[in-house]
């Protein structure tokens, strides 16, 4: 399938190792598309959990996916500052339906003050046994988590100070104008 173009809207689907759908983000605008990298943006998008529960994201966010790294990064614009939510996951693929990846439970959250926290270690241990991740996947995820922490510490990729501003401004420029009326003129 042809890659989406900048300005296109795509769905994002995360799956679990057993093939079950984990979560779907309904609508994300592609703001940058290269052979190996997709940067997207969304704001108050509908999210559907694998069990059918639905909710709407609270704040604007950028998403960063790479075809060579086993992690993806969500940049969240919160009132207290920029926060990051990083999923340890397979590199992405795109088909006619959506951008897709397998989520491997472990997450790293970076708070606006720079604090880093590893999340869902117990969930990872449980699912590793339940779905037999195996040593190869375990090794890849261990190496990927170290690579991700290095990106965070060295302010590489989405963690670079200018990244959120540059790509959010690009999103704002590309967004359709919701109301074509100007105050006092029709």
**Is 60 in contact with 169 (CB distance < 8 Å)?**
no
163 backbone dihedrals φ, ψ, rounded to 5°: -55, -55
Residue 81 backbone zone (phi > 0: left; psi -120 to 50: alpha; other: beta)? left
Q: Which of 55, 87, 59 is nearest to 74 (CA)?
A: 87
For residue 165, count CB atoms less than 10 angstroms from its CB and return exposed for 0-12, middle for 13-18, buried for 19 or more.
exposed
Q: Which of 23, 142, 182, 183 is catalytic?
A: 23
For the chain, the residue count is 186
In contact, 16 and 103? CB cutoff 8 Å: yes
Active site residue 53: no
Classify 148 as helix, strand or coil. helix
CA distance 1 to 97: 10
The C-alpha atoms of residue 119 and residue 123 are separated, in whole angstroms, by: 9
**Which residues are marked as active site?**
23
């Amino acid at each position: 399938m042809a890659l989406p173009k900048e300005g296109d809207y795509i769905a994002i689907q995360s799956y679990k190792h057993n093939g079950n759908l984990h979560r779907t983000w309904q609508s994300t605008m592609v703001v940058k598309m290269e052979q190996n990298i997709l940067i997207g943006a969304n704001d108050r998008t509908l999210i559907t959990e694998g069990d059918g529960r639905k909710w709407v994201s609270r704040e604007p966010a950028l998403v960063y996916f790479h075809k060579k790294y086993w992690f993806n990064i969500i940049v969240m614009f919160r009132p207290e500052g920029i926060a990051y939510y990083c999923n340890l996951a397979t590199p992405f693929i795109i088909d006619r339906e959506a951008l897709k990846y397998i989520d491997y439970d472990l997450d790293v959250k970076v708070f606006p003050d720079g604090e880093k926290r590893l999340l869902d270690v117990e969930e990872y241990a449980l699912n590793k046994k339940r779905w037999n991740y195996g040593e190869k996947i375990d090794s890849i995820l261990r190496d990927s988590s170290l690579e991700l922490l290095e990106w965070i510490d060295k302010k590489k990729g989405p963690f670079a100070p200018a990244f959120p501003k540059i790509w959010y401004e690009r999103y704002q420029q590309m967004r359709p104008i919701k109301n074509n009326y100007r105050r006092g003129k029709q």
